[in-house]
Every structure is written in C-alpha cells, then in structure tokens.
Amino acid sequence: MKNIIANAFKNANKENRPALISYTVCGDNNKKISLDILNSISSYLDVVEWGVPHNCPTADGKEIQNSSYRALKNGIKLNNVFEMVKKYKKNKNAKPLILMGYYQMIFNYGEKKFVKRCRDAGVNGLIVVDLSYPDNKKFAQICKKNSICFVQLIAPTTSKKRMREIIKISHDMVYMISMISTTGSALKVTTKKIMENYKLIKKVNPSKNVAIGFGITEKTIKSLKKADGLVVGSAICKEISKSIKNRQNAVTNVTNVVRKLKNKIK
C-alpha cells in the first residue's frame, strides 16, 4: 500500500532534509482559528497531524491538554473534526493529514464506520496512542483496506524482538517516541542517544519512514535533522496558548514558529 504520506517523505528526502510534521488539536481554540492556523502553516510542512480533542489525553503534557480543553470547551465533537478535515483538504496547499486520538472514541463510534468516515473526509493516516501491537493488528488491516496509513509507535523501551515485529507489519510511517515521558517535556536524553535509537530502527528496515516525536523544539530540531521526519506539537500548542493569553494573532505567531523550525532543517 502506497500512501501520499510516503510521497511526502520521499520529496523531503530529495531535498536532503527530514519531513516536517506539525501537531495541533483540531478546534483549538475554535473551528475557524484552528483551520486558519493549519492552512497558514501548511506551506512550511510536509505532513500535518490533527489531534482529536479528548478529555483524558494520557500521553500528552500540559500544552496539548490545554489545547484539548479549549477545543472541548468550544463544543468540538468528532463529527466537527471530519467536517474540518474536508474543508482543509479543499485548500490547494493542503498536505497529507494524520488524525491522532485515543481508542475509546473509535470503539464507541465503531471501528469500520470510523475508518470509512476518515477515508471519506480525506484523512491519510491514523495514530491511535493507546492501541498498541499486537492488539492493533485487526484495526491496522481495516485501515489498510481503506488506503489509510496506520502509524505504529515505537518507544525507547521497545525490545528488539518486538521492534522487528512492529516494523514488519507497519505501513508507510513509524513514529519513534524520543523518550519515556509525556509530550512537551524537556528532553531527558541527549539528541545523540535519540539518533542512536533511531538508527537501530532503520537498521531493521531502511525502507520504512521513521519520524521522531516528543521534545522537538527550535533548540533541538537541528541536531535531529538526519531523521526521516520530525514531529513538533507542544511548541506549537504553547504558542497558541501564549497568543490567546496576550490577545495576539495566533495564526501569525504560530506561522512564524513553524517557519523558524523549517529554516533550522533546510
């Protein structure tokens, strides 16, 4: 299965740089601003991630939790997310889009119905944080049948045997968690150690696209530019919070942050 996410990595590689992937929460702090932000930053990105707002985002730190809280407070529901994906995909600068969320909402909605709705809306990939291997094998197959890239997660604590199994069944992208922590935490390991772990994954299957997430900021991103892809989330969500607090233009401020990140990896 070849997905446009794979093409995004391929195009970035041709430019001798990692694919830059953003993460924002869909609907933060309202539908219009959230969509305006994504439309504005897309020209600097290769892939975009939209988080589905959740009232208990266990893998996320305070910045993304704050984003989720604001979106939920403004009444964002799952159906709104699908509608907003459709609107985003009409933009000529739209990039491959990954939805990230938790399994409870998918289970409640119905797996097949959820994936079909994703496909119809224009979603290209899915990350389900709390649905790990091997429990995700059936769901990954449903995604594959609908031409949606199911993104597997690999942590620093993942054994070599388990890593090989995960990579073997993975689709076009693997998400490497840089450290054991929640999103937005300061790096507790050196970027050198992160790249060593990255190389272990690439050694198993060099053809798999591996993106590194957690702790990626303007300060750390340059040291990790040899990776296939880099995911920046909390730094962006933090800028949205800051803009709201200071009554500034979140679209302009977030675009400036993303542009600086892109310049660091050129």
Predicted confidence (pLDDT) at residue 37 exceeds the cutoff of 70: yes
Predicted confidence (pLDDT) at residue 263 exceeds the cutoff of 60: yes
- Helix 31-41 to helix 78-89 angle (10° resolution) is 40
Sign of CA dihedral 266, 151, 96, 177: negative
pLDDT (mean) for 2-6: 85
Determine whether 49 is an active site residue: yes
Q: Which of 132, 215, 78, 114 is nearest to 223 (CA)?
A: 215
Q: What are 68-93's pLDDT values in tens digits?
A: 899 999 999 999 999 999 999 999 99
Residue 180 is predicted with a pLDDT of: 67
Residue 231 is predicted with a pLDDT of: 97
Residue 61 is predicted with a pLDDT of: 63
Q: What are 154-196's pLDDT values in tens digits?
A: 998 999 999 999 999 999 999 999 976 554 455 668 899 999 9
Residue 58 is predicted with a pLDDT of: 58
The two tokens of residue 210 are: 């591996």
Cα–Cα distance measured from residue 205 to residue 238, given in angstroms and rounded to the nearest whole number: 35
Which pLDDT band, with edges at 50, 70 and 90, does 64 fall under? confident
Residue 189 is predicted with a pLDDT of: 80
Which pLDDT band, with edges at 50, 70 and 90, does 65 fall under? confident
pLDDT (mean) for 111-127: 98
Determine whether 130 is an active site residue: no
Residue pair 80/27 in contact (Cβ under 8 Å)? The answer is: yes
Which pLDDT band, with edges at 50, 70 and 90, does 215 fall under? confident
Residue 184 is predicted with a pLDDT of: 43
CATH number at residue 117: 3.20.20.70
Q: How many residues does the chain have?
A: 266
Predicted confidence (pLDDT) at residue 152 exceeds the cutoff of 80: yes
Predicted confidence (pLDDT) at residue 59 exceeds the cutoff of 60: no
The single residue of 46, 60, 172, 228 carrying the catalytic annotation is: 60
Sign of CA dihedral 76, 74, 68, 253: positive
The single residue of 15, 36, 46, 49 carrying the catalytic annotation is: 49
Q: How far apart are the first and last CA of the chain?
A: 29
The pTM assigned to this predicted structure is: 0.94
Predicted confidence (pLDDT) at residue 2 exceeds the cutoff of 70: no
Domain limits for position 111: 4-265
Q: How many domains does the chain have?
A: 1
pLDDT (mean) for 43-64: 83
- The mean pLDDT of the chain is 92
